[in-house]
Amino acid sequence: MSFELLEHPADIGFRAEAASLPELFIECARALLFIVLDPSNIEPKESIALSAEGTDYESLLVNWLNEVLYYVDSQRLALHSFKISLLDENRIECVGRGERRDQRKHPAKLVVKAVTYHQLRITHSGESWSADVYVDV
């Protein structure tokens, strides 16, 4: 995994790193899932189309992670992997693979209410991308 959890007095955050922007979005989704549930036993049994829009990469990342959170929370899916087919500054399209959530197989860790813009940052330096993201718990 290419992410680390960040300390914050009221919320929880993570810093993800990747070699490309699509990989960064995937690492951010993995970090979010790690906060919400135990991802170690998720099997890629089902596919779900995920998409989001934004006005820049930051808003796109927040909207896309909130979309992932919607499927994990409201649709009770444990997502295992992601394959991005389109990513530009205003839109992301992706196929997520996973299975129905089972409390015994995918125990919950924290209830995340939303991904926030608080201290959100995406940076590109040389051949590396990173993002700092905080979620409301």
List, for residues 112-136, the tens digit of each pLDDT value. 999 999 889 999 999 899 999 999 8
Average pLDDT, the chain: 92
Return the bridge partners of 49, or none.
95
Confidence band of 6 (pLDDT split at 50, 70, 90): low
Query: What is the Cα–Cα distance from 17 to 34, expressed in whole angstroms?
Result: 15
CATH of 3-136, one of 3.30.450.40, 2.30.40.10, 3.40.50.300, 3.55.10.10: 3.55.10.10
Mean per-residue pLDDT, 27-33: 96
Query: What is the Cα–Cα distance from 56 to 101, expressed in whole angstroms?
Result: 32
